[in-house]
Amino acid sequence: MNNQLLIVEDDEVFASALSSSMEKKGFSAIIAHDIESARQAAREFSPNFAIVDLKLGSESGLEVIPFLKQLNNKSKIVVLTGYASIATAVEAIKLGAIHYLTKPVSSREIFQAFFRDKGQSDQTLATNPLSLKRLEWEHIQKVLIENNGNLSAAARALGMHRRSLQRKLSKYPVKN
């Protein structure tokens, strides 16, 4: 079995630690820190597996997914993020990712995600509705996706100043 793994992560220390851990699990890993180097590495390396960080500096890791699927439709892609939202989770899956995991996450959880082909119907359901701040975060993410990540267009659609939107986005997403 081909265990070629592409890790697309802008945090160099985390990427290196993840690479070492996944190599101990039998993968041959290569690291890319941005979209362009990920595309180049994928062309040369032909990975069957990929771990893609959602936020790559000012770029969206979602842009990498269609490229990887075009190169190898059977590749298994797991998206990692510290900026989780319903909108980006849905888009990642629509684009071809098999799982969307929130950081912090262990290499064991990522490994299991690669080989878990079915959903888990026994997932614990939330008992409380989302907070107003979390709903705002989700709505902003949805509008950003609708505007292809264009911050100025999203700000116009939201009826707010671009800098105000940037300030909201610079904060980590709020918890429920």
CATH number of 132-170: 1.10.10.60
Task: Write the single-letter amino acid at 57.
Answer: G
pLDDT over 70 (residue 1): no
Note the pTM of the prediction, 2 decimals. Answer: 0.75
What per-residue confidence (pLDDT) applies to 61?
92
C-alpha dist (Å) from residue 141 to 18, 145, 165, 173: 27, 6, 11, 10
What integer is the mean pLDDT of 28-46?
94
Is 132-170 the same fold as 4-115? Answer: no
Looking from the CA of 72 toward its CB, the CA atoms found within 13 Å total 18
Tell which wins on pLDDT, 125 or 49.
49
Please give the DSSP secondary-structure letter assigned to residue 81. E
Q: How far apart are CA 73 and CA 8, in angstroms?
A: 18
End-to-end CA distance of the chain: 41
Residue spans per domain, the chain: 4-115, 132-170
Residue with tokens 């989780």: 84
Name the pLDDT band for 165 (thresholds 50, 70, 90): confident
Name the pLDDT band for 172 (thresholds 50, 70, 90): low
Residue with tokens 């008992």: 127
Burial of residue 134 (CB within 10 Å: 0-12, 13-18, 19+) is: middle
Name the pLDDT band for 137 (thresholds 50, 70, 90): confident
What per-residue confidence (pLDDT) applies to 176?
57
Could you tell me if residue 7 is left (phi over 0), alpha (psi between -120 and 50 degrees) or otherwise beta? beta
C-alpha dist (Å) from residue 145 to 86, 130, 153: 11, 20, 11
Highest mean pLDDT among 16-25, 79-88, 146-155: 16-25
pLDDT over 80 (residue 125): no
Tell which wins on pLDDT, 57 or 75.
75
Statement: 4-115 belongs to CATH 3.40.50.720: no
What per-residue confidence (pLDDT) applies to 122?
63
